[in-house]
Each structure stands twice: as C-alpha cells, then as structure tokens.
Structure 1
C-alpha cells in the first residue's frame, strides 16, 4: 500500500509527463517563416526566394513537400521546366502515398493538432500538381503532357468519388471541375491533325466545366471543321499564370450543428467518447484568396494589339469553394481533438486517484494549456497563381515579336516584356509567362515540342 506522500510524488511525476506532452503540442504558423521567400518571388528576386526556400526546407521537415511545390513554381518561372517537373512528380507520388492512412500520425494529431501529421495536400492542390506537371512538361518537350492532362481529370474524379469521412452526404459532389487538363488535351489532340474527334470531346468538357471561357467556342467550331490552321500558318498558344493564388490562415470557428453531427460520427469511430453540451470556438485553417491588381495579360504581335488572355481555370475560386464545401469536416476534426484531450485529462486524474485540490487544479490547468497550444494547419502551396489563362494566335510562318504585359479590365496597366517566337507550318508554339503582380516574374518561356 503506497503512503499518501508516495502517491503524491507519483502524481507529480505523472503530471510532469502530461506537461511534457505540451512541448510537442503546437506548431508555429506555417505562413510566417515562408512569407519572406514568397515576397521575394513576387518581387522577381528568384535567387533570394530560392535561398530562403532551401533554408526553410533544411529546418522544417514536415513542410518539405509544400516547399518543393513552391520551388517548382520558381524553377518554372526561371526557365527550368525540367526541374519543376521533377519536383512536382516527387510531391505527386508522396501525396498519393500519404492518402494511405497513417494510424500513428492520426492518433498523434488528435493529441496535438494537424501540424503533427505529414501534409498530404488539399484536394485542389492534388489536381493542380497534375495541371502544372502538364504545363512544365509541355515547356520541356511535351512527351508526357497528354498523360498528365488525363491525370488531371482522373484525379479530380477520384477525389469526388471518395467523399469525406463522417458525412452522410458527399460534399465533394458539388466541386467545380478543373478545365485546364481537358483544354490542353484538346489542344494536343488537335495538333496531331488526326484526332479532331478527341479534341472536340475535350473542348466539349471545357465548355461544360468553364462556361465563362468563351474562347472554347471557337475551338469547337474549328475542330468540327477538321482544320488546325490555314496553309502556311501555325499557331501560338500563350499560357499565363496570373495573380497571386490562395493561401491559408488560422481562424476561430463556431461548432455548427452539422459539424457536431460529423464530429459525433468520428468520435464513435475512434473510441468511447461523447460530445459535451457546449463547445468553445475551435482553431481551423481558412483558405484566403488575395485581392489582385492584375486579372489578365495583354498580348501584342509585331507591335499590333491582339487581345487579352482568358481564364480557363480560376484557382482562387476553386480553393475557396472546396474549403467551404468541406468546412463541416474541418471543424469536426478540431472538435474531436478538443473532446479527446479533455477525456485524456479526466482519465488521467481518475486513474491516478487525484484527491489533492492543488494537484487537481494543476491537472485542469495543464489541460487548458494543452488545448491552447493547438495550431491550425496553415501549410499550403503558396505560389500557385490565381488563374491559369490562355489565348490562341494563328500567324503566318516565320519569326514574330510577341509583347506581353499586365492587364486589368482588358486594359494594360504596366510595361510589356517581349520575346521572339518562331511559327512553323501547321504546328503549335507554346509560350508561358507569369504575372502574379504588375511585374513579370522570371522569363518568357517558349517551346515547339
């Protein structure tokens, strides 16, 4: 039989163990350490941005994948599509692997927060990885671009079919489809001069998924006629990565009745826990779409105005809409963590037979601190564009001077940058430019695969 003094000493040791758990409970916001790297990118200082990303990756192993995604965007803008493709493939495969549930990490995240889990990517990020793979490969040699385009559509169909754990109705059924993969697939099939039917099917999907993209109507008419371009002409496609894309920030959210229903189902699955009558606001990540000063890229050919690029995929809208669609599940996970932590403290007090008022208060205080150290998981692919845009230009064979500059409301708002493009008979030439702000980042890439 232990003496009262010995039992108190044992309880103090156990309380120390509980407090030690707090050392791993929280994590600083993901956005703060990477802010300087992303600002350097937007300012066009790619060397500085690369240095900061490399430095961050050496210190933040759990952020390695999102750092690689940002590095891929940097390499692509700098004219290194091969490096961009390599990094994107690595993260694609890693995210696919992480979709297999890690029980240890899932349990640890319930005792701490989601920052303790390996980041497996948001749904929109998984689809955009494949979109950027297609674009990177296109600007390299185009050998795998069609396959990547098909992966875009396959992945989003898989995501929608999988749904969300704990939800009676699948909130992902309302996800808007990413049209970029189908659009580029149609472009590539048309370029073969043989597969106009395939091109028509792809462009038809684009018209259904992105009805505001009016350029696809001309594409449908053209492939229906089976004519890629006029004799002694070729085509230039200008792809533009426009505006600053989505990011995450921490916010406090009320536990809605729908979220509590989902939380109750999750709790039933993870153990013998019940929901308390009231739940204080919980910390969750929220996707934010920045306000952008640029909404397009104006194009001039041989010093003659041609027009402005059009949006084929709005990444900001996609990310915000998906965040809202799965908000109940996000809140529910945070509620479950809160309940599990409280239950852990109560169970510890009961098993240790805590009967000392001061020690009882210390346990309760430790539980409060444990909850307070939780952080929302704000890891994200921070250098995505707000929009992927495109315009198609049919030109006579030969060398042409292409001028590209930032636009808003269809009007130029900044200086243009120029590049020479070689147009070949019956072939496509691809151009890629990045305008996250009024200033172009990196260089104008050209390719004729």
Structure 2
C-alpha cells in the first residue's frame, strides 16, 4: 500500500501548454519584453521545462537581434538533448509509474534537427564562423535519428521521415559564396532539390553554380530568410489502442518485466502534434520601392512535425498502454502482498488504482515558438545601399503593412537578412549581416 500511495503522490503534473500560453501570446503580439519576463518566471518554477523554455527564449533573442545569446541557448539545449538520449533507467521506471512528464524532456526528432537549423541561422546573423558546421550537423542528426529507429517496432517507421532541406540549402549558399567551391554547392543544392521538390528556387541555384558564377560584375546578393507563421505545438488527446500499438506494447512489456496485456485496454492519454491555421504563408519583398516577389518555403516545420508524430504514433500509444498495465500490476501485487480479502479494503485499493490512472497527463512539452515554415528568396543587386521592404503575404499577395531596412550590397558578396512573421505583424527587428 505504501508503494501505491507513494506513486499517487508523484502522479503526473498538469499539461505543459497552459502555464506558457501567455508568454507565447506575448511573443506573437510583438511584446518581447513581456514574453521574456514570463519565460524567466516560468523557468524558475518549472525545472523540468527548463530546456524547452530555453528554446523559446532563443527564438525571442533571435527576433530581438541578439543572435549571440540565441546561439548560446540553442547550443546548451543541443548538448543537453544529446546527453539525454542516453537511457536513464530511474527516470524510465518512474515514468511508467506516473507519466512521461516525470522524465527529463529529451526533445522530439524534429526539434533536435531544428535546433541545429536555428544554430546555423543564429550564427549566420552573428559572424557566420560556424554556420557551415551547423549546416552539416543538420544532415548528420537527421540521418542518425532515422538509423536509430524506434524500440519495439519490427519495421523502422522513421525511414519515411521527410528530410529537412534547410541545412543543405544554407551549406550550398555558403560554399557558393567562397567563389571556389561551386561543386560542393551543386551537391548541396541537388540534395535540396531531391528533398524539397516544391522549392522551385533551387533550380536557378543549380544552373548558376553549374556555370560557376556567383553574381554579375559590380553586383552582390541579398538573401532574405523569413520565419513564417506559428509553428507546431502539442495537445493532450485520448487514443484507442490499435492492434499495431498493442503489438509494440507487448514487446516493450516483455523487455521491462513479467507482464501480460489484458484483453481490453481503455483509451489512453497521449500527446498529439497540432499545426495551427496561419493567416500568413509568405513574406513579400520590395527593393527600392519596386516589387520583387514572395519568399519560398525551403522547410515546412509544421508538416515535418505532424508527419513525424503520425509515423511514431504506434510507439507513443504503446508506451501509454505499458504504463497502464504496469500500474494495474502494481495494484494487484500490493493486494497480494497484503493478502487483501476484505471487501471494503479491496474496493479502496481498486479506487486508488483508478485515481492513479486518472492523474496521468500526456507530455505536451514542446518548442512552442518554432515557425511554421523557413522561407527564403535570393536577390542579386548592384553594389551600394538599397531599401528593402518586407511584409506579410498570403497566396502571393500582401496582407499587411511592410517594414523597411537599408541593406549594403558589396561586390561579389552575400548579405543576409532575417525577419520573423508569425502573424500579420512582424516580431522583433529586421536583422542584417554580411559575415
């Protein structure tokens, strides 16, 4: 009975999404100071959420022009998530007795890859010294994730993961900018074309690097990177235990102890990735008061997150089923050890078991300030100062006021611009860099 009471005392906490909603809404409203205050306050109270809070803070710092601070936080969480990929037996056991919110959050697959993507972007907007290395890490990490697969699955569901093309794209941009490594750039752009066939801009990139010409004489290039729309988040939902999920659960149960699946399983609580409906799907660009075009998607984060969630759904449900079985077994074991044969006491044990199961919460911790899409456009311009205007777009048409910034174009060099449009209103500043 003492074990049962102890487990009830450490039952799962409330959903992650509620306490942080105000901070994220403040960010979307452009109130970065208020968002920062709320994130700092949340981090002092929710130690298990520290890493996802740092990820949100990194996005805030990047939007505000503090690329160095964003890079520092992203690097910390990258290293922490890498460390947490090593199995912690104590935490794994504890989570079976409560729920996954008791475990240190090790990040979803898409988050691990996007950390490296945002590291590359943050470093690019600082001095670009490590941007190429971060780009290579994007591809290395997703290959590692796919190869590792999912425990308990006979077939690897991650083999169908769509690849993140942003790392290869930026790597190609940087190799081309050297004016020496056009062959490397062509390989990277070729990878982008294979992974993101709807990104039509890469075809022009391939033609250009094949000719070995970065830009015309007395011209330079401006790359506008845009973080567009509100990205994925998680919510709790009840899921039926499908036959495939039960097969996975049975394999996990065989590995963790002498447990068997009951004939029926009630719906279990699991996290589900949600892609918000966004009013903005691009950023329109004008140069010196002349329309240029709209940014194009090189990585669709929402699509990536939802597809990965669906691909690993059987394993997610299976873990929840295993947790349910282990809890029931714990109650039965406690009753046997205490030789419970009194009707009232037996009812008390069963009631405690029901309460124990009811206290479960799905783990909805997530990187809540990711964009829906990473987009880009390339503009070749004469050397000199130009006025760049950027505004929200939908269906290729402007849907809100533009924001402007002066950009300096240097002969044969790249200038990088970064802007965030999670909604119709720009968040933070227009960042510019010529590393």
TM-score between both structures, scaled by the size of structure 2: 1.00
- For structure 1, which runs of at least 5 residues remain unmatched after alignment? 1-14
How far 1:16 moved relative to its partner? 5.4
Structure 1 runs of 4+ off > 3 angstroms?
none
For residues 357 and 78 of structure 2, the distance between their equivalents in structure 1, rounded to whole angstroms, comes to: 33
Deviation digits for residues 12-70 of structure 1 (CA, Å, limit 9, x no counterpart): xxx35523421211211000000000000000000000000000000000000000000
Q: Is the 8 A contact 2:4 2:330 kept in 1?
A: no
Hey, what does 2:302 align to over in structure 1?
A: 316
How far apart, CA to CA, are the structure 2 residues paired with 1:84 and 1:210?
27
2:388 is paired with a residue whose SS is: strand
Larger Cα Rg: Structure 1 or Structure 2?
1
The corresponding residue for 1:51 is 37
Instruction: Show structure 2 runs of 5+ residues with no match.
Output: none
Q: Distance in 2 between the 1:87 and 1:356 partners?
A: 57
Which has the larger displacement, 352-361 or 186-195? 352-361
Q: Distance in 2 between matches of 1:121 and 1:329?
A: 16
Provide the rounded CA distance (Å) in 1 between the counterparts of 2:129 and 2:377.
22
Distance 1:348 1:191 in 2: 68
The match for 1:363 among 344, 349, 352 is 349
* Count, aligned residues: 435
Q: CA deviation at 1:355?
A: 1.4
**CA distance in structure 1 between the aligned counterparts of 2:224 and 2:12, rounded to whole angstroms:** 45
Q: Quote how far apart the aligned CAs of 1:192 are.
A: 0.0
Does the alignment pair 1:60 with 2:46? Answer: yes
Residue 176 of structure 1 and its aligned partner are, at CA, apart by 0.1
* Structure 2 match to 1:272: 258
Distance 1:145 1:322 in 2: 26
Secondary structure at 2:69 match in 1: helix
What are the Cα deviations for residues 213-263 of structure 1, in whole angstroms up to 9, with x where unaligned?
000000000000000000000000000000000000000000000000000
CA contact (8 A) 2:117 2:166 kept: yes
Distance in 2, matches of 1:399 and 1:80, equals 24
Q: Which string of whole-angstrom CA distances, capped at 9 and with x for unpartnered residues, describes residues 351-377 of structure 1?
A: 110111111100000000000000000
**Structure 1 residue 161 displacement after superposition:** 0.1
1:305 aligns with: 291
The answer for the alignment partner of 2:228 in structure 1 is 242
CA distance in 1, matches of 2:96, 2:341: 28
SS in structure 2 at match of 1:444: strand
Displacement of 1:196 after TM fit?
A: 0.1
Secondary structure of 2:365 counterpart: coil
- For residue 389 of structure 2, what is the aligned residue in structure 1? 403
Distance 1:255 1:226 in 2: 56
Q: Tell me the secondary structure at the aligned position of residue 427 of structure 2.
A: coil
Measured after TM superposition, the shift of residue 412 of structure 1 is: 0.1
Between the aligned partners of 1:114 and 1:242, the Cα distance in structure 2 is 31
| Alpha-carbon distance in structure 2 between the residues aligned to 1:391 and 1:219 | 11
3-state DSSP class of the match of 1:291?
coil
Residue 187 of structure 1 and its aligned partner are, at CA, apart by 0.0
In 2, Cα distance between equivalents of 1:235 and 1:36: 39
Partner of 1:117: 103
